[in-house]
Structure 1
Amino acid sequence: MTWHTQPMAAFDIESTGLDMASDRIVTAALWRIDPTHRTKDVTTWLIDPGIEIPQAAADIHGITTDHARQHGRPAAEAVPEIGAALEKTAVDGLPVVIYNAPYDLGMLSAELERHGCGVRFDGLLRVLDPLVLDKHVDRFRRGGRKLIDVCAHHGVPLESDQAHGAAADALAAARLAWKLAATHPELAETGIDDLHTAQVAWKAEQSASFQAYLRRKDPDAVVDGSWPLAPGP
């Protein structure tokens, strides 16, 4: 049996921004999906990040500072719980689908460090990143590579009013990973450990190529190729 017909997890976060040194997680979702039995269960977190949520971020994911303060859990409670839940998926042997994994895992790692938890899942997770996979199998395709764009290209449902909700994005990423494997046997037939290792190299190659492109105009442009975890702040 190929990996896309086996149980898997899917993870996504939304945050106050993109700076791992200063921004915070606002929402997170972790799915456990069993394609054989057609079951899927999700755990979600709404967090009071302890800082203001910029309007630009609230416009994307829909969570305002007031809403997070009123309904969210303290970050010191929720962040370790997210880390433990993700760690458990790895211990249970489930690969985890994460679209643009370095952002989500990097942000979570910074938050775990901030709350004195360390990075307990580093080196333990086996990650499937549909962004890396899609670029590998269709390197020169024109158009955006945001999750909603890639889902639209492959016929994976993700409505614009649902995009940037952690649960909707994580589930869409899982469906996208399944679709890529179903249409590209070379992906489906590669074992999870080997595919994880391959993505490390593919991400590095993709980043080097993009960096070379940018340096045509900016000789100092740098594109980090770390995967699946971005460097810490």
Structure 2
Amino acid sequence: MNPNSAGWAERLAVFDLETTGIDVDVCRIVTAHVGVIGPDGDVLEQRRWLVDPGVEIPTAATLIHGISTERARAEGAAAVVAVAEIIAALADVAARGLPIVAYNAAYDLTVLAREAERYGHAPLAGPPPIVDPLVIDKAVDRYRRGKRTLTAAAAHYGVELVDAHDAGADAVAAGRVAQAIARAYPEVAATPLEDLHTLQVGWCRDQAASYQAWRRANGEPEFVAVGDWPLR
């Protein structure tokens, strides 16, 4: 086994979306990346999309990912076409037996599912085994202080992230963080993918319940945290 990786982390599909907002029920895809990385985190395959979401891109979103409404309309693919292509690309890597890494996967996969429904496409089947470094990191290093953003996780695990909020940069960095977690926690690396997927369902549910309890104990008695994973 390559000393720089372990178990299921030898070869990973990586996936990320940048969108028009944070509400999974209404936001639209603006950019997407589906790729494959090898044992050392090297990029073996990559496919990118710039999408015309069919709606105005809020300024707040543009400030994060850099894509304006004007650029998306001028250069982007039609959403109905791009969404089908993104689903097909993910189905292809899944059919090849690769786990799909997505940081905060419940967001990206739910947005994709809502977009599929919006345009009448069949959703991504399964979904296949998903590796969510956010959920796993919170489970294996529960009491670490500080933020759990991708930028923070990359810094903690020694992964370079040069262009945060670019779908390609974020997708690859998330895959490399997953590999770093596999190296740091051999018991996670040794867990079969199907079992790891099931564990993440429970971990995410428990993490949401803990966060909800904390928020309610700190002045927000009606706060609700959703713990469904990998789809909401």
Of 99-108 and 111-120, deviating more is 111-120
Mind listing any 5+ residue stretches in structure 1 that lack a counterpart?
A: none
Q: Deviations over 1:146-202 (max 9, x none)?
A: 10011111111012xx10000000000000000000011111111111111111111
Equivalent-residue separation in structure 2 for 1:60 and 1:200 (angstroms): 29
Q: Which position in structure 1 is the counterpart of 2:177?
A: 176
Task: Tell me, in whole angstroms, the C-alpha distance in 2 between the residues paired with 1:191 and 1:140.
Answer: 25
Alignment match, 1:220: 222
Residue identity (%): 49
Letter in structure 2 aligned against 1:179: A
SS for the counterpart of 2:109 is: helix
- The Cα of 1:221 is off from its aligned counterpart by 1.1
The aligned residue for residue 81 of structure 1 is 85
Check whether the contact 1:3–1:192 (CA below 8 A) recurs between aligned residues: no
| 3-state secondary structure, aligned to 2:44 | strand
CA distance in structure 1 between the aligned counterparts of 2:176 and 2:41, rounded to whole angstroms:
15
Amino acid at match of 1:167: G
User: In structure 2, how many angstroms separate the alpha carbons of the residues matched to 1:8 and 1:170?
Assistant: 11
- What's the secondary structure of 1:215's corresponding residue? helix
Q: How does 1:151-170 map to 2 (within 5 A)?
A: 151-159=154-162, 162-170=163-171
Counterpart-to-counterpart distance in 1, 2:221 and 2:214: 10
Q: In the TM superposition, what is the alpha-carbon distance from 1:3 to its structure 2 partner? A: 2.7
The alignment partner of 1:201 has SS state of: helix
* Shift in Å, 1:87: 1.3
Question: SS of 2:14's equivalent?
Answer: strand
Does residue 148 in structure 1 map to residue 151 in structure 2?
Answer: yes
Deviations 1:197-224 (A, max 9, x none): 1111111111111111111122211101
The Cα of 1:19 is off from its aligned counterpart by: 1.7
Where do 1:76-115 residues align within 5 Å?
Answer: 76-115=80-119
Match of 2:36 in 1: 32
Aligned to 1:229: 231
Letter in 2 for 1:89: V
Shift of 1:6: 2.6
- Aligned partner of 2:63: which letter? D
Q: State the 1:5 CA deviation.
A: 4.6
Q: Select which of 41, 45, 52 maps to 2:49.
A: 45
The SS at the match of 1:44 is: strand
- Unaligned runs of 5+ residues in structure 2 are none
* Residue number in structure 1 paired with 2:61: 57
Residue 84 of structure 1: how far off its partner (Å): 1.1
**Which residue is 1:193 aligned to?**
194
Counterpart amino acid of residue 34 in structure 2: L
* Alpha-carbon distance in 2 for matches of 1:38, 1:149: 21
Is the Cα–Cα contact under 8 Å of residues 90 and 124 in structure 2 kept in the other structure? no
Q: Is the 8 A contact 2:135 2:200 kept in 1?
A: yes
CA RMSD of aligned residues (A): 1.5
Q: Name the structure 1 match of 2:124.
A: 120
Q: Which residue of 2 aligns with 1:8?
A: 12
Q: Structure 2: how far apart are the matches of 1:102 and 1:39?
A: 24
2:209 partner amino acid: A
- Which of 119, 139, 144 aligns to 2:142? It is 139
For residue 22 of structure 1, report the CA deviation from its aligned partner.
2.1
Higher mean displacement: 63-72 or 36-45: 36-45
Going from structure 1 to structure 2, the CA distance change for 1:37 and 1:69 (only over 3 Å counts) comes to: closer
